Amino acid sequence: MTVVDTPKEVRSGEELDIPRLSEFLKKNIPGITGSVSVKQFPSGFSNLTYLVTAGDREFVLRRPPFGRKAKTAHDMSREYRILKALHPVFGYCPRPVLFCDDHSVLGCDFYVMERIVGVIPRKDFDDELALSASDARKLCENSIDVLCNLHAVDYNAVGLGDLGRPEGYVRRQVEGWSRRYRDAMTDDAPDFEDVMQWLADNMPEDTDRPCIIHNDFKFDNLVLEPGSPTKIIGLLDWEMATIGDPLMDLGSSLGYWVERDDPEEQQMIRMLPTTHDGMMTRREVVDCYLEKSGRHVDDFNFYYVFGTFRLAVIAQQIYYRYYHGQTRDERFGLLIAAVEVLERVALRAMERSQF
Protein backbone atom coordinates (compact mmCIF):
# COMPACT_ATOMS: atom_id res chain seq x y z
CA MET A 1 0.00 0.00 0.00
CA THR A 2 1.18 3.55 -0.71
CA VAL A 3 0.03 6.88 0.63
CA VAL A 4 0.88 8.63 -2.66
CA ASP A 5 -2.29 9.66 -4.47
CA THR A 6 -2.99 7.02 -7.11
CA PRO A 7 -5.49 6.87 -9.97
CA LYS A 8 -8.00 4.11 -10.69
CA GLU A 9 -9.81 2.80 -13.74
CA VAL A 10 -11.90 5.43 -15.52
CA ARG A 11 -15.52 5.63 -14.34
CA SER A 12 -18.20 4.48 -16.76
CA GLY A 13 -19.40 7.36 -18.89
CA GLU A 14 -16.26 9.44 -18.30
CA GLU A 15 -13.90 7.71 -20.74
CA LEU A 16 -11.58 9.66 -23.03
CA ASP A 17 -10.96 8.96 -26.71
CA ILE A 18 -7.44 7.57 -26.29
CA PRO A 19 -6.51 7.31 -30.00
CA ARG A 20 -7.42 10.96 -30.63
CA LEU A 21 -5.74 12.07 -27.42
CA SER A 22 -2.60 10.10 -28.27
CA GLU A 23 -2.40 11.68 -31.71
CA PHE A 24 -2.84 15.16 -30.25
CA LEU A 25 -0.18 14.71 -27.55
CA LYS A 26 2.41 13.23 -29.89
CA LYS A 27 1.85 16.05 -32.35
CA ASN A 28 2.17 18.83 -29.75
CA ILE A 29 4.57 17.62 -27.03
CA PRO A 30 8.09 16.89 -28.26
CA GLY A 31 9.61 13.56 -27.33
CA ILE A 32 6.44 11.57 -26.65
CA THR A 33 6.69 8.02 -27.93
CA GLY A 34 5.04 4.72 -27.17
CA SER A 35 1.47 3.95 -26.28
CA VAL A 36 -0.78 6.29 -24.29
CA SER A 37 -2.86 5.01 -21.37
CA VAL A 38 -5.35 6.80 -19.16
CA LYS A 39 -6.54 6.33 -15.59
CA GLN A 40 -8.71 8.59 -13.46
CA PHE A 41 -8.22 10.23 -10.09
CA PRO A 42 -11.46 9.22 -8.35
CA SER A 43 -11.78 12.01 -5.79
CA GLY A 44 -13.17 15.46 -6.40
CA PHE A 45 -16.65 16.55 -7.45
CA SER A 46 -16.07 19.14 -10.16
CA ASN A 47 -13.65 19.03 -13.09
CA LEU A 48 -12.49 15.56 -14.05
CA THR A 49 -8.84 14.71 -13.56
CA TYR A 50 -6.95 11.92 -15.32
CA LEU A 51 -3.44 10.49 -15.24
CA VAL A 52 -2.12 10.21 -18.78
CA THR A 53 0.92 7.97 -19.25
CA ALA A 54 2.77 8.36 -22.51
CA GLY A 55 5.77 6.08 -22.74
CA ASP A 56 7.87 6.87 -19.67
CA ARG A 57 6.22 10.28 -19.07
CA GLU A 58 3.25 11.15 -16.88
CA PHE A 59 0.85 14.07 -17.23
CA VAL A 60 -2.37 15.13 -15.56
CA LEU A 61 -5.29 16.05 -17.82
CA ARG A 62 -8.15 18.28 -16.66
CA ARG A 63 -11.47 18.54 -18.47
CA PRO A 64 -14.99 19.71 -17.54
CA PRO A 65 -17.53 17.23 -16.18
CA PHE A 66 -20.09 15.60 -18.43
CA GLY A 67 -23.70 16.80 -18.18
CA ARG A 68 -25.17 20.15 -17.11
CA LYS A 69 -22.61 22.74 -16.03
CA ALA A 70 -22.86 26.06 -14.24
CA LYS A 71 -22.70 28.82 -16.86
CA THR A 72 -19.41 30.40 -15.78
CA ALA A 73 -17.72 27.29 -14.35
CA HIS A 74 -15.18 24.87 -15.84
CA ASP A 75 -13.32 27.39 -18.01
CA MET A 76 -10.25 25.37 -18.96
CA SER A 77 -8.52 28.19 -20.83
CA ARG A 78 -8.82 30.47 -17.82
CA GLU A 79 -7.46 27.83 -15.45
CA TYR A 80 -4.55 27.13 -17.80
CA ARG A 81 -3.78 30.84 -18.09
CA ILE A 82 -3.68 31.19 -14.28
CA LEU A 83 -1.20 28.34 -13.94
CA LYS A 84 0.93 29.76 -16.76
CA ALA A 85 1.16 33.14 -15.04
CA LEU A 86 1.59 31.93 -11.46
CA HIS A 87 3.94 28.97 -11.79
CA PRO A 88 7.12 31.06 -12.20
CA VAL A 89 6.44 33.07 -9.01
CA PHE A 90 4.36 30.65 -6.94
CA GLY A 91 5.99 27.27 -7.24
CA TYR A 92 3.15 25.35 -5.64
CA CYS A 93 1.28 25.53 -8.97
CA PRO A 94 1.67 22.54 -11.27
CA ARG A 95 3.56 23.44 -14.45
CA PRO A 96 1.07 23.74 -17.32
CA VAL A 97 2.15 21.94 -20.49
CA LEU A 98 -0.53 22.18 -23.18
CA PHE A 99 -4.00 23.61 -23.75
CA CYS A 100 -6.51 22.33 -26.32
CA ASP A 101 -9.65 24.06 -27.56
CA ASP A 102 -10.10 21.73 -30.55
CA HIS A 103 -13.27 19.82 -29.64
CA SER A 104 -12.57 17.18 -32.27
CA VAL A 105 -10.07 15.69 -29.81
CA LEU A 106 -12.16 15.14 -26.66
CA GLY A 107 -15.34 17.09 -27.34
CA CYS A 108 -14.39 19.92 -24.96
CA ASP A 109 -11.60 22.25 -23.93
CA PHE A 110 -8.96 20.59 -21.76
CA TYR A 111 -5.39 21.09 -20.64
CA VAL A 112 -2.42 18.99 -19.66
CA MET A 113 -0.02 19.76 -16.82
CA GLU A 114 2.87 18.16 -14.99
CA ARG A 115 2.06 15.59 -12.34
CA ILE A 116 3.16 16.51 -8.82
CA VAL A 117 3.72 13.16 -7.14
CA GLY A 118 2.83 13.29 -3.48
CA VAL A 119 0.32 12.69 -0.71
CA ILE A 120 -3.09 14.34 -0.91
CA PRO A 121 -4.83 14.49 2.50
CA ARG A 122 -8.31 13.03 2.28
CA LYS A 123 -10.89 12.46 5.02
CA ASP A 124 -8.41 10.76 7.36
CA PHE A 125 -4.64 10.50 7.34
CA ASP A 126 -3.32 7.10 6.29
CA ASP A 127 -1.73 5.17 9.18
CA GLU A 128 1.53 5.04 7.22
CA LEU A 129 1.90 8.79 7.63
CA ALA A 130 2.04 8.45 11.43
CA LEU A 131 1.17 12.14 11.78
CA SER A 132 1.64 13.27 15.40
CA ALA A 133 -0.34 16.05 17.03
CA SER A 134 2.62 18.41 16.64
CA ASP A 135 2.90 17.40 12.96
CA ALA A 136 -0.78 18.17 12.42
CA ARG A 137 -0.32 21.57 14.01
CA LYS A 138 2.71 22.22 11.81
CA LEU A 139 0.78 21.21 8.71
CA CYS A 140 -1.92 23.74 9.61
CA GLU A 141 0.69 26.45 10.02
CA ASN A 142 2.39 25.53 6.75
CA SER A 143 -0.89 25.57 4.87
CA ILE A 144 -1.63 29.06 6.19
CA ASP A 145 1.85 30.13 5.06
CA VAL A 146 1.04 28.89 1.54
CA LEU A 147 -2.24 30.81 1.54
CA CYS A 148 -0.53 33.99 2.78
CA ASN A 149 2.16 33.60 0.12
CA LEU A 150 -0.49 33.36 -2.58
CA HIS A 151 -2.30 36.41 -1.22
CA ALA A 152 0.98 38.35 -1.33
CA VAL A 153 1.56 37.79 -5.07
CA ASP A 154 1.44 41.01 -7.11
CA TYR A 155 -1.29 40.09 -9.59
CA ASN A 156 -0.51 43.03 -11.87
CA ALA A 157 3.16 42.08 -12.05
CA VAL A 158 2.35 38.53 -13.21
CA GLY A 159 -0.15 39.72 -15.83
CA LEU A 160 -3.35 38.75 -14.03
CA GLY A 161 -4.70 42.22 -13.35
CA ASP A 162 -7.77 41.47 -15.47
CA LEU A 163 -8.53 38.13 -13.77
CA GLY A 164 -11.28 39.63 -11.62
CA ARG A 165 -12.87 42.85 -10.38
CA PRO A 166 -12.18 43.52 -6.69
CA GLU A 167 -14.68 46.39 -6.47
CA GLY A 168 -18.02 45.01 -5.31
CA TYR A 169 -16.54 41.53 -4.97
CA VAL A 170 -18.37 40.55 -1.78
CA ARG A 171 -21.73 41.73 -3.09
CA ARG A 172 -21.28 39.87 -6.37
CA GLN A 173 -20.38 36.71 -4.48
CA VAL A 174 -23.41 36.86 -2.21
CA GLU A 175 -25.77 37.66 -5.07
CA GLY A 176 -24.12 35.21 -7.47
CA TRP A 177 -24.04 32.22 -5.13
CA SER A 178 -27.62 32.94 -4.04
CA ARG A 179 -28.70 32.92 -7.67
CA ARG A 180 -26.78 29.69 -8.31
CA TYR A 181 -28.46 28.00 -5.39
CA ARG A 182 -31.93 28.97 -6.56
CA ASP A 183 -31.10 27.80 -10.09
CA ALA A 184 -29.94 24.41 -8.77
CA MET A 185 -32.86 23.85 -6.41
CA THR A 186 -34.51 20.44 -6.45
CA ASP A 187 -37.79 19.47 -4.83
CA ASP A 188 -36.01 17.80 -1.90
CA ALA A 189 -33.59 20.66 -1.13
CA PRO A 190 -33.88 23.21 1.72
CA ASP A 191 -34.60 26.75 0.55
CA PHE A 192 -31.75 28.57 2.39
CA GLU A 193 -33.73 31.82 2.15
CA ASP A 194 -32.97 32.90 5.74
CA VAL A 195 -29.25 32.36 5.15
CA MET A 196 -29.22 34.22 1.85
CA GLN A 197 -31.09 37.17 3.37
CA TRP A 198 -28.72 37.29 6.35
CA LEU A 199 -25.70 37.36 4.06
CA ALA A 200 -27.27 40.16 2.00
CA ASP A 201 -27.94 42.16 5.18
CA ASN A 202 -24.49 41.70 6.74
CA MET A 203 -22.02 42.23 3.91
CA PRO A 204 -18.75 43.94 4.91
CA GLU A 205 -17.13 46.72 2.91
CA ASP A 206 -14.76 45.88 0.08
CA THR A 207 -11.23 45.06 1.18
CA ASP A 208 -8.59 47.71 0.61
CA ARG A 209 -6.02 44.97 -0.14
CA PRO A 210 -7.46 42.72 -2.85
CA CYS A 211 -5.31 39.85 -4.06
CA ILE A 212 -5.27 36.61 -6.01
CA ILE A 213 -7.48 34.15 -4.16
CA HIS A 214 -7.61 30.42 -4.81
CA ASN A 215 -11.30 30.05 -3.87
CA ASP A 216 -11.03 26.32 -3.10
CA PHE A 217 -8.13 26.21 -0.67
CA LYS A 218 -8.45 23.03 1.42
CA PHE A 219 -6.40 20.04 2.47
CA ASP A 220 -7.39 17.76 -0.40
CA ASN A 221 -6.15 20.34 -2.88
CA LEU A 222 -2.71 20.30 -1.26
CA VAL A 223 0.06 17.88 -2.23
CA LEU A 224 2.42 16.81 0.57
CA GLU A 225 5.93 15.51 0.10
CA PRO A 226 6.12 11.72 0.56
CA GLY A 227 8.10 10.95 3.69
CA SER A 228 7.69 14.50 5.00
CA PRO A 229 3.93 15.00 5.32
CA THR A 230 4.12 18.47 6.88
CA LYS A 231 5.88 19.84 3.78
CA ILE A 232 3.55 21.17 1.10
CA ILE A 233 4.83 20.81 -2.47
CA GLY A 234 1.73 21.55 -4.53
CA LEU A 235 -1.63 23.33 -4.66
CA LEU A 236 -4.18 21.99 -7.14
CA ASP A 237 -7.59 22.89 -8.66
CA TRP A 238 -7.33 26.51 -9.74
CA GLU A 239 -10.63 26.70 -11.61
CA MET A 240 -12.23 29.25 -9.25
CA ALA A 241 -9.21 31.50 -8.66
CA THR A 242 -9.80 35.23 -9.10
CA ILE A 243 -8.95 38.66 -7.73
CA GLY A 244 -10.93 39.34 -4.58
CA ASP A 245 -11.13 39.55 -0.82
CA PRO A 246 -8.66 37.20 0.94
CA LEU A 247 -11.00 36.83 3.93
CA MET A 248 -13.61 35.39 1.58
CA ASP A 249 -10.95 32.87 0.49
CA LEU A 250 -10.31 31.89 4.10
CA GLY A 251 -14.03 31.76 4.88
CA SER A 252 -14.59 29.38 1.97
CA SER A 253 -11.81 27.16 3.34
CA LEU A 254 -13.38 27.08 6.79
CA GLY A 255 -16.70 25.97 5.32
CA TYR A 256 -15.02 22.56 5.04
CA TRP A 257 -13.40 22.71 8.50
CA VAL A 258 -15.12 20.33 10.93
CA GLU A 259 -13.78 20.40 14.50
CA ARG A 260 -13.70 17.52 16.97
CA ASP A 261 -16.38 19.15 19.16
CA ASP A 262 -18.82 19.90 16.33
CA PRO A 263 -22.25 18.18 16.40
CA GLU A 264 -22.51 14.60 15.18
CA GLU A 265 -24.36 15.55 12.00
CA GLN A 266 -21.46 17.82 11.08
CA GLN A 267 -19.01 15.01 11.74
CA MET A 268 -20.94 12.83 9.30
CA ILE A 269 -20.28 15.19 6.38
CA ARG A 270 -16.61 15.74 7.20
CA MET A 271 -14.40 15.38 4.13
CA LEU A 272 -11.00 16.44 5.51
CA PRO A 273 -8.74 15.34 8.40
CA THR A 274 -9.50 18.45 10.47
CA THR A 275 -10.41 16.42 13.57
CA HIS A 276 -6.97 14.75 13.80
CA ASP A 277 -5.10 15.28 17.07
CA GLY A 278 -3.29 18.60 16.97
CA MET A 279 -5.41 20.21 14.26
CA MET A 280 -6.25 23.87 14.83
CA THR A 281 -9.78 25.01 15.57
CA ARG A 282 -11.45 27.35 13.10
CA ARG A 283 -10.79 30.26 15.41
CA GLU A 284 -7.11 29.33 15.70
CA VAL A 285 -6.87 29.17 11.91
CA VAL A 286 -8.31 32.67 11.61
CA ASP A 287 -6.04 34.06 14.34
CA CYS A 288 -2.98 32.46 12.74
CA TYR A 289 -3.87 33.79 9.29
CA LEU A 290 -4.45 37.33 10.58
CA GLU A 291 -1.13 37.30 12.41
CA LYS A 292 0.86 35.98 9.45
CA SER A 293 -0.86 38.16 6.84
CA GLY A 294 -1.00 41.38 8.85
CA ARG A 295 -4.69 41.73 8.04
CA HIS A 296 -7.49 42.66 10.45
CA VAL A 297 -11.15 41.86 10.90
CA ASP A 298 -13.48 42.69 13.80
CA ASP A 299 -15.69 39.61 13.39
CA PHE A 300 -15.00 36.77 10.97
CA ASN A 301 -18.48 35.28 11.28
CA PHE A 302 -19.83 36.66 7.99
CA TYR A 303 -17.03 34.96 6.08
CA TYR A 304 -17.64 31.63 7.81
CA VAL A 305 -21.38 31.71 7.15
CA PHE A 306 -20.67 32.59 3.54
CA GLY A 307 -18.16 29.73 3.25
CA THR A 308 -20.69 27.28 4.66
CA PHE A 309 -23.40 28.51 2.29
CA ARG A 310 -21.06 28.45 -0.69
CA LEU A 311 -20.15 24.84 0.05
CA ALA A 312 -23.86 23.99 0.18
CA VAL A 313 -24.36 25.60 -3.24
CA ILE A 314 -21.50 23.60 -4.73
CA ALA A 315 -22.94 20.39 -3.28
CA GLN A 316 -26.43 21.26 -4.54
CA GLN A 317 -25.18 22.03 -8.05
CA ILE A 318 -23.51 18.64 -8.19
CA TYR A 319 -26.54 16.90 -6.68
CA TYR A 320 -28.69 18.58 -9.35
CA ARG A 321 -26.78 16.68 -12.02
CA TYR A 322 -27.38 13.39 -10.21
CA TYR A 323 -31.05 14.18 -9.49
CA HIS A 324 -31.68 14.77 -13.19
CA GLY A 325 -29.77 11.70 -14.34
CA GLN A 326 -26.87 13.61 -15.87
CA THR A 327 -24.25 11.59 -13.97
CA ARG A 328 -24.17 8.05 -12.62
CA ASP A 329 -21.62 8.72 -9.91
CA GLU A 330 -23.35 7.34 -6.81
CA ARG A 331 -21.38 9.67 -4.51
CA PHE A 332 -23.40 12.58 -5.83
CA GLY A 333 -26.67 11.11 -4.61
CA LEU A 334 -25.54 11.52 -0.99
CA LEU A 335 -24.92 15.24 -1.29
CA ILE A 336 -28.50 16.29 -0.54
CA ALA A 337 -27.97 15.20 3.08
CA ALA A 338 -24.86 17.42 3.25
CA VAL A 339 -26.85 20.37 1.88
CA GLU A 340 -29.42 19.94 4.64
CA VAL A 341 -26.75 19.78 7.35
CA LEU A 342 -24.93 22.82 5.99
CA GLU A 343 -28.09 24.90 6.21
CA ARG A 344 -28.35 24.07 9.90
CA VAL A 345 -24.65 24.85 10.43
CA ALA A 346 -25.08 28.25 8.80
CA LEU A 347 -28.20 29.04 10.83
CA ARG A 348 -26.42 28.18 14.08
CA ALA A 349 -23.45 30.36 13.14
CA MET A 350 -25.79 33.26 12.31
CA GLU A 351 -27.31 33.03 15.78
CA ARG A 352 -23.99 32.96 17.63
CA SER A 353 -20.67 33.99 16.16
CA GLN A 354 -17.76 31.66 16.83
CA PHE A 355 -15.28 34.47 16.17
For 290-308, how does the pLDDT look when each residue is reduced to its tens digit (9 = 90+)? 999 999 999 999 999 999 9
CATH number assigned to the domain covering 127-351: 3.90.1200.10
Quote the pLDDT of residue 3.
65
Q: Rounded to two decimals, what is the model's pTM?
A: 0.91
- What is the rounded average pLDDT of the residues 179-206? 97
Residue span(s) of the chain under CATH 3.90.1200.10 come to: 127-351
Residue span(s) of the chain under CATH 3.30.200.20 come to: 18-114
- Asked whether the beta carbons of 38 and 10 are under 8 A apart, the reply is yes
- What is the rounded average pLDDT of the residues 208-223? 97
% of residues, the chain, pLDDT over 70: 97
SS3 267: helix
- What is the rounded average pLDDT of the residues 136-144? 98
How many residues can be counted in the chain?
A: 355
What CATH architecture does domain 18-114 belong to? 2-Layer Sandwich (3.30)
What average pLDDT is seen over the chain?
Answer: 93
Query: Pairing state of beta strands 222-225 and 228-235?
Result: antiparallel
Quote the pLDDT of residue 2.
47
Nearest residue to 46 (alpha-carbon basis) of 75, 21, 24, 19: 75
Quote the pLDDT of residue 129.
83
Helices (DSSP H) in 13-125: which residue ranges? 18-28, 76-86, 103-106
Share of the chain residues as helix, strand and coil, in percent rounded to the nearest 5: 40, 15, 45
Cα end-to-end distance, the chain, whole Å:
41
pLDDT bracket for residue 187 (50, 70, 90): very high
Quote the pLDDT of residue 44.
62
Cα 282 from chain centroid? 18
pLDDT of 71 strictly over 50: no
Quote the pLDDT of residue 45.
61
User: Per-residue pLDDT tens for 37-60?
Assistant: 999 998 766 789 999 999 889 999
- What is the rounded average pLDDT of the residues 102-127? 94
Higher-confidence residue: 227 or 23? 23
* Contacts for 84 with CB less than 8 Å, ≥ 6 apart: 96
Quote the pLDDT of residue 234.
97
pLDDT of 223 strictly over 90: yes
pLDDT of 328 strictly over 90: no
Largest CA distance in the chain: 61
- What is the rounded average pLDDT of the residues 314-327? 91
